[in-house]
Amino acid sequence: MADLEIIFSHNFKAANSESTNGPQFHRYLPDKTDGSIEIQIERPAGMLQMWFARKGSTSSGWVVQDYTGEPLELERIMRQAIIEGGHLWGSFLIRDADDRLVAELRLKKFGAPLGVAFGEQILRAVINKHVVRAVESIRHLLGQYWLRPLPPWDRDLCSAGSYCQYLQMQWRVSGEPAQTFCPVRPVQLLGRHQTDNPYLQLPNEARWLEVSSAIQGGYEPTIVSQPLVRAHELKERGDWRLAFVEATTALELAVDDTIKSVAGSSRVASELQSVHGLKLKPKLAMIGSFLSMPVGDIELCLRGVDIRNKAAHEGASAKEDADMVLSAMLSVGRTLSEGPKVAFPRLQRANEQRDSNSEWEETPGPRIRATLSISSTPPGFTDWQESDVP
């Protein structure tokens, strides 16, 4: 059995003018043998290593990082105040890999069962659990918010192949050149949404007129809407832990405001002082029952409060149903909030056109919840073909 290595890279450079070519370092640039991040993983058993490429060139006397360039001497780097680190590179090394898996990878067939299972395991147990955390920790601890985050793989948003393509993943066994790793055809999916019609969260004419009117009337984000919007953004970026914190904060503020508005008279308000002293969960259950809100949504919110507490106090990670729980928390928080309601859309990668208004009225949502091929395919990914393995 041979050693199997999976190689990947994350591009920190976002598509905006504030972005840099990776983290900015001061008179230093780590590489694979000096300052790399190493994590021993039990399942699948292997060693994860992440580093920056101490390579580049000199332009007008300045050292410029470039992973395709020549190795840079640390002494030369130390003369310069700032040098950008470029991509974060990584490898996951598995000792004595299954010969059947390696043989299947050599076939370069989309959908081959061992390759698919292995690929999804790598994305869940290595990339989502450790690499996403490492990227966010680099952004957080260095304070360099402009660096592009790494969203976790979500099979409802893209195939495993698309994500492998995004990370430019390759595989190799000892003594052989690296080859493209893409066990599933690269496609991007429309994904799950809070409603059957994802377009409903985007502003149509009526919605925009409401927004325009609110702004003209002096609208400013409220104390409830601000954490709701932050929770939505964090949820879409895959930062589940902070998303639950913000969503719970929004619910607590919204519930307290609702209790005050329900109280009405000063006498009723005084009787409700004892209610304000309760914890969020009994108050939320009470308000949900009083307003005849869907029981399922309230139950999900109660579960979300528990997840938030465990994440905040015990460092626990979000559960598999985090998306559904957070969606319910955002929905209930929006229902309880006063004033214009905020929206929780997902960035739409797909689009469609129809010939008449009647077609939209008959089927307001996407007619085909289909996949979209990635428009550009990097070299090497075209080598893979549909698998004939059942």
pLDDT tens for each residue of 124-157: 999 999 999 899 899 878 888 788 888 888 877 7
Q: How many angstroms separate the first and last alpha carbons of the chain?
A: 25
> Which residues does residue 113 pair with via DSSP β-bridges, in sequence order?
none
The residue among 68 and 269 whose pLDDT is bigger is 68
Read off the pLDDT band of 345 (50, 70, 90): confident
Whether the pLDDT of residue 197 is over 80: the answer is no
**Residues 52/29, Cβ–Cβ less than 8 Å:** yes
**Residues 217/209, Cβ–Cβ less than 8 Å:** no
**CA quadruple 184, 185, 186, 190: dihedral positive or negative?**
negative
Read off the pLDDT band of 379 (50, 70, 90): very low
The pLDDT assigned to 355 comes to: 72
The pLDDT assigned to 320 comes to: 58
The residue among 271 and 387 whose pLDDT is bigger is 271
The pLDDT assigned to 94 comes to: 95
Whether the pLDDT of residue 357 is over 80: the answer is no
pTM score, whole prediction? 0.57
**Residues 36/30, Cβ–Cβ less than 8 Å:** yes
Read off the pLDDT band of 16 (50, 70, 90): low
Pairing between strand 109-110 and 385-386?
parallel
The residue among 386 and 279 whose pLDDT is bigger is 279
Read off the pLDDT band of 339 (50, 70, 90): confident
CA distance 286 to 299: 12
Please report which residue ranges of 147-291 form alpha helices under DSSP H: 160-166, 205-216, 225-237, 240-263, 266-271, 273-276, 280-290
Question: For the chain, what percent of residues have pLDDT higher than 70?
Answer: 80
The residue among 218 and 47 whose pLDDT is bigger is 47
Residue found under tokens 């507490």: 309
In 21-87, the DSSP E strands lie at 24-25, 37-41, 46-51, 55-59, 62-65, 70-71, 83-84
Whether the pLDDT of residue 373 is over 70: the answer is no
Read off the pLDDT band of 206 (50, 70, 90): confident
DSSP secondary structure letter of residue 130 = I
Give counts: helices (H), strands (E), the chain: 14, 15
The pLDDT assigned to 376 comes to: 39
Whether the pLDDT of residue 390 is over 50: the answer is no
And the tokens for 235?
């949820």
- Please provide the average confidence, as pLDDT, over all residues in the chain: 81
Read off the pLDDT band of 381 (50, 70, 90): very low
The pLDDT assigned to 310 comes to: 83
Of the candidate ranges 44-53, 222-231, 340-349, 370-379, the one whose mean pLDDT is the lowest: 370-379
CA distance 314 to 286: 27
Question: For the chain, what percent of residues have pLDDT higher than 90?
Answer: 38
Per-residue pLDDT reduced to its tens digit, 240-260: 888 999 999 999 999 988 887
Pairing between strand 37-41 and 46-51?
antiparallel
The residue among 270 and 206 whose pLDDT is bigger is 206
Burial 221-239 (b: 16+ CB within 10 A, else e): ebebbbbbbbbbebbbebb
**Residues 73/66, Cβ–Cβ less than 8 Å:** no
Q: How many CB atoms lie within 10 A of CB 81?
A: 8
Please list, in sequence order, all residues whose beta carbon lies within 8 angstroms of the beta carbon of residue 70, skipping any fewer than 6 positions away: 55, 56, 57
The pLDDT assigned to 329 comes to: 95
User: Radius of gyration of the chain from Cα atoms?
Assistant: 25
The pLDDT assigned to 309 comes to: 86
The H or E element containing residue 325 is helix 322-336
DSSP secondary structure letter of residue 367 = S
Whether the pLDDT of residue 378 is over 50: the answer is no
The residue among 354 and 165 whose pLDDT is bigger is 165
